[in-house]
Structure 1
Amino acid sequence: MPKTTINVQQALGLRVRELRAERGITQEEFAERCGVFRTYMSRVEAGKANPTLTMLYVFSGALSVTIQELLEWPTVTSVPKVRSREKLSRGRVSK
């Protein structure tokens, strides 16, 4: 994956960090409001955790935004191509 492409977890983490910082809330305070450990929140903001839908609801409430606002980030304009195998035959790849 090219370095300029970010995945959904990274985009969510950046958005959470952005909204939290705009409100002047520390990561530790935000984690406490959400009922999670600060280390988990750090992983979310770093794009290394995959929060559940329930946690997204908790995050949005703690940030006083809708889930839709929480999930707003720039639209991806290009999707990297993934090479697929040409033909599969009896578990072997044909070339």
Structure 2
Amino acid sequence: MSIDRDLIKIQKAFGERVRELRVKKGLSQFDLASHCNYEKSTISRIENGRTNITLKTALNLSSKLEVKLKDLFEF
């Protein structure tokens, strides 16, 4: 399997995990975006696996979702 295909699979799984945690907290995409100082479209791209996020973004998301960073990668 190529690195690009692996990256896409991980991005999609990560996005699904973010969505799962966001919904569990009762937040809309707009709510999470506001808490993180992002545009709603950024959260949408993350949740749909269409963007390769930075570690800083992952840390921000984990903080706003009130989970440990490692919890975002449990997929």
TM-score (norm 2): 0.88
Is residue 2:53 matched to residue 1:51? yes
SS at match of 2:53: coil
- Cα deviation, residue 70, structure 1: 1.1
Letter in 2 for 1:70: L
Q: What root-mean-square deviation, in Å, do the aligned CA atoms of Structure 1 and Structure 2 show?
A: 1.5
Once the two structures are superposed, the pairs formed by residues 62-77 of structure 1 within 5 Å of their partners are 62-73=64-75
Q: 1:61 aligns with which of 52, 63, 68?
A: 63
Structure 2 Cα separation of the partners of residues 45 and 12 of structure 1: 7
Structure with the bigger RCO (C-alpha within 8 Å, sep 6+) is: 2
Give the equivalent residue in structure 2 for 1:22.
Answer: 24
- Cα deviation, residue 44, structure 1: 0.4
Q: Which has the higher helix share?
A: 2
Residue ranges of structure 1 left out of the alignment (5+ in a row):
74-95
Number of matched pairs: 70
SS at match of 1:65: coil
Q: Which has the higher strand share?
A: 1
Residue ranges of structure 2 left out of the alignment (5+ in a row):
none
Structure 2 Cα separation of the partners of residues 47 and 9 of structure 1: 5
Give the equivalent residue in structure 1 for 2:34.
Answer: 32
Structure 2 Cα separation of the partners of residues 56 and 15 of structure 1: 12
SS at match of 2:62: helix
Structure 1 Cα separation of the partners of residues 52 and 40 of structure 2: 15
